[in-house]
Amino acid sequence: MKKLVLFLASAVLVASACNGPVSPQDRLTANDQKINELIAQMTLEEKVNMLHSKTNMSSAGVERLGIADMNYADGPFGIREEGQPHSFQSAGWTLDSATYFPTGSALAATWSEELAYKYGTGMGKEARLRGKDVILGPAVNIQRLPVGGRTYEYLSEDPILSAALSLQYTLGVQDKGTAVCIKHFAVNNQETNRGSVDAQLDERTLREIYLKPFERAIIEGGAMSVMPAYNKVNGDYCSENEHLLNEILRGEWGFKGFTVSDWGGTHSTMGAMLHGLNVQMTGSNYLGQPVIDSIATGALTEDLVDEKVRQILRVRMAIEAVPADVANTVQTSQPESQQIALEVARKSIVLLKNMGLLPIAKDVKKIAVIGQNAVLKTQSGGMGAGVKALYEVTPLEGICKRAAELGIEVKYAPGYKTIAFRWGPAPANLDPLEARSNDEPADPALVAEAVALAKEADLVLFFGGTNKSIETEGSDRKNIDLPCGQNELVKALFEANPELVSVLVSGGPTDLRELEPVSPAIVQAWWNGTEGGTALAEVLFGDIVPSGKLPFTFPKKLEDSPAYAMGNFPDPNGAGGDLFSLMFRPDVLKMTPEERQKFLDSLPKPVSKYTERFYVGYRWFDTKEIEPMYPFGYGLSYVYFEYGPITAKVEKETVKISFTLHNDGEYDADEVAQLYVSRPESKVEWPVKELKAFRRVTLNAGETKTVTMEIPLKDLRYWNEGTNAWDLEHGKLQLLLGGSSDDIRETAEVTI
Ligand code: BGC
């Protein structure tokens, strides 16, 4: 195994002037000698003081020795508003408005490594302006469940796409002198019972699907810190999981930095100390005085504490602390970050259907914009992923601005009630799944008002989707239905005026079975950051061509998706006890921490079985031949792309392919070419096909380019559970090239 890890690492070595090649992780050890000298000067109390929170968003340094505190910042899409020292309540600052970048699924819909890198630089830079050392992101878990409360935070259902983007995000942030804290390690795929659920899965699925996005960011990106997730994996909490933290992360991947438990996700002193945690966030009940006491009794050694402090100090030394009088002197949000947010938004929007209504025709003079989601701001809410944005252009604002320039009249009607916004987890008296559903029926008066507007218009733009009360950290959706009677409304609108485009403002997939037949055009517009409305208007009016591709499958119905079809979610054995749904219950609030722990321990233990194995997302739909509503990788354009035949060869441990791509349209446009592989004669079990490479290509109208792509052979290996190691199966490999997982245009075969 060791050999294999070395081989892997060698692919990402960088030249160093004196000592030869050094891996990104090994660079963290450059100051070890100095660090050891510092540790030798520290008292045990000073060292242990570094192993837990100092404030809600910092852990301590040692002032006496000139070691600065470590300052953390949520979240993945923008530097979070400054909170009170010991809570998330606003500190009431005025210079802490940040750039709100498009959320995770939107970034992933760009399929752009270049943009993921830029995104990281924007985040890294704004973190510095706020005096932060570590960004609590990127959030890179696989989107296993369509209902997942954090689907919008995470990137994709596919590990290759997620890994490529998480690597670039990491590089971008860290190139700006800020550390990432990549999260949530690992197998954090549901919010239901997230504080106690045990994700039970086989090693092959773990390695090939769920660990990939972390692996690349750590090995190739040199990610400096990692946040173990709330849940358990195969019996042990992630914050004290020997297999994840010590064997894989540090042992196999050579991680040299430090781990920070998710907030409230530390569970014991011995478990955390022995099995890989460095910092308890928040609190000190496990990694404070109990560590000192355990050393006194001989249960723990001071050497172990030294090792943990060394790992923290490596990052502390790699990241320059921002002096207090330099931090927070200007507004966090910067024009170049706003520009990056706009670029990402422009390339993320996915055109799902178009019977000719888009781009909006020149003779359209009156537009009816219908639906609360046209005026929805998506920056705040969602707990750790909320951003206090300097500004946010809503869809309606973007449309009105562009329409005014074009001399088009726009009228707006809300169409349905605002979906009540609620912070935090579900109230204790409600089933968390129940609380997140919104079964409110259509409001007849609002429908009538919207229909009247639709009748007068040349074109109707219907805005549906969800909001951050429905899709949020802390709970999963009960279903993926469009809420608030949106289906009824859109049907009435279509009847009144069939010139109708539906725009979906949501982070995850929704059930479109009723909306699709009454929508001649459909656009997935995401929660698209500070400039989301600007980018959307540009796409609708044809100033730019849509080029986003779905990072996850839109199932026709929830029950078609793998974890549901296998009966794995929701947990068939009942909810069990979960810290995050119980901690607001009055009787639980009155308990001491010990009583609360005892109470939680007495409750049934929730489990999530991953018996669908590696058949996640399209791997499942393709293999089981279940037709989705829209497949993974899918997205239309205003032009047609022609793919030329594939030339393929295997050279230097890499499958190399080239082909020509032609823009057969009248607009300049981007295509995301996708390369899947299938193994027709394999003895090993595989999904029907798997994504292995992709490339976003920009082509002027009528232009043809030769495009190259590469698949490193190491990415074609499988985890052999017999030998407990990666294996490459030699033989025939079919290469499938196209514009989405179900639009394969060219094929070729190579032997590996
Ligand atoms: C979330 C993390 C977040 C942390 C701090 C937790 O509830 O799971 O993603 O970084 O809070 O806000």
Q: What is the pLDDT of residues 532-551, one digit of tens each?
A: 999 999 999 999 999 999 99
CATH 2.60.40.10 placement within the chain:
630-751
C-alpha span between 369 and 450 (Å, rounded): 9
Q: Determine the average pLDDT of the residues in 121-128.
A: 98
Matching residue, tokens 């794995």: 568
Predicted pLDDT at 670: 98
- Percent of the chain surpassing pLDDT 90: 85
Ligand 1 centroid–CA 262 distance in Å is 6
Predicted pLDDT at 211: 98
CATH 3.20.20.300 placement within the chain:
2-16+26-318
* Catalytic residue list: 262
pLDDT above 60 (res 14): no
Predicted pLDDT at 574: 62
C-alpha span between 213 and 164 (Å, rounded): 7
Q: Pick from 149, 145, 191: which is nearest to 606 by CA?
A: 191
Write b or e for each residue in 131-170: b if 16 or more Cβ atoms lie within 10 A of its Cβ, otherwise e: bbbbbbbbbbbbbbbbbbbbbbbbbbbbbbbbbbbbbbbb
Specify the CATH class of 2-16+26-318 in words: alpha beta
Confidence (pTM) = 0.95
- Percent of the chain surpassing pLDDT 70: 93
Best residue among 192, 473, 476, 583 to mutate for probing ligand 1, ranked by most atoms within 8 Å of CB:
473
Best residue among 262, 472, 476, 579 to mutate for probing ligand 1, ranked by most atoms within 8 Å of CB:
262
Q: 620 to each of 15, 143, 626, 672, 689, how far by Cα in Å?
A: 42, 13, 8, 22, 10
Q: Looking at beta carbons, which pairs linking 83-92 to residues 24 or more positions away fall under 8 Å?
A: 83/56, 83/57, 84/56, 85/55, 85/56, 86/55, 86/56, 87/56, 88/56, 90/388
The third-level CATH classification (topology) of the domain covering 630-751 is Immunoglobulin-like (2.60.40)
Is the CB of residue 78 less than 8 Å from the CB of residue 98? Answer: yes
Ligand 1 centroid–CA 70 distance in Å is 16
Pocket of ligand 1 (CB under 6 A): 74-75, 136, 183, 262-263, 383-384, 473
Least confident of 405-419, 511-525, 692-706: 405-419
Q: Determine the average pLDDT of the residues in 692-708.
A: 98
User: Which run of H or of E encompasses 641?
Assistant: strand 641-643
CATH architecture of 349-540: 3-Layer(aba) Sandwich (3.40)
- β-pairing, 732-740 with 669-678? antiparallel
283 backbone φψ class: left, alpha, beta (φ>0; ψ -120 to 50): left
C-alpha span between 190 and 575 (Å, rounded): 13
Quote the mean pLDDT of the chain.
93
Ligand 1 centroid–CA 156 distance in Å is 19
Q: Pick from 564, 563, 578, 566: which is nearest to 431 by CA?
A: 578
